[in-house]
Amino acid sequence: MSRALSLARVIAVLAGGALLAGASTTTAGALGGGHGDEGSGTGSHDGAGVLSAEATATEIVVTGDTGGDGGNLEPLDTSWTPPVCWYEPWLTAQEFADAVEAMAAENGRANRALNINSPHEAFTDIYRDNNPEDWAYNLDSRYAMRGYDNYNLDAEEDGLWWRPVINPNREDEYRAGTDCVEPIFWGDPVEVPDLDEAITDEMLAEYAYDEIDIPETEIELSPSGDQIVNLPTWIWMQAADLEPRTVRAELPINGVWAETTAEPVSLTIDAGTEDAQLFPSSGECALRDDGRIGEPWDESREGEDPPCGLTYLRSTHGTGPYELTASLTWEVYWTGSQTEGRNPLPGGTFETTQTIVVEESQTIVR
Q: How does DSSP assign 24-47, residue by residue? A: S-----SEE--SS-EETTS-EEET
Q: Interhelix angle for 3-15 vs 93-105, to 10°? A: 20
Q: What b/e string do you get for 263-282 counting C-beta neighbours within 10 Å, with b at 16 or more?
A: ebebbbbbbbbebbebbeee
Classify 316 as helix, strand or coil. Answer: coil
Q: Is the pLDDT of residue 109 over 90?
A: no
So what's the pLDDT on residue 34?
A: 55
pLDDT digit string, tens, across residues 144-163: 899 999 999 999 899 999 99
- Cα 26 versus chain centre, distance: 24
Q: With bands split at pLDDT 50, 70 and 90, how would you rate the model's confidence at 309?
A: very high
Other C-beta atoms closer than 10 Å to the C-beta of 22 total 25
Q: With bands split at pLDDT 50, 70 and 90, how would you rate the model's confidence at 18?
A: very low
C-alpha gyration radius of the chain: 27
Maximum pairwise Cα distance, the chain: 86
Q: Is the dihedral of CA 149, 97, 143, 254 positive or negative?
A: negative
* pTM for this prediction: 0.83
Q: Is the pLDDT of residue 343 over 80?
A: yes
The predicted model gives 321-349 an average pLDDT of 97
**Cβ proximity of 59 and 168 under 8 Å:** no
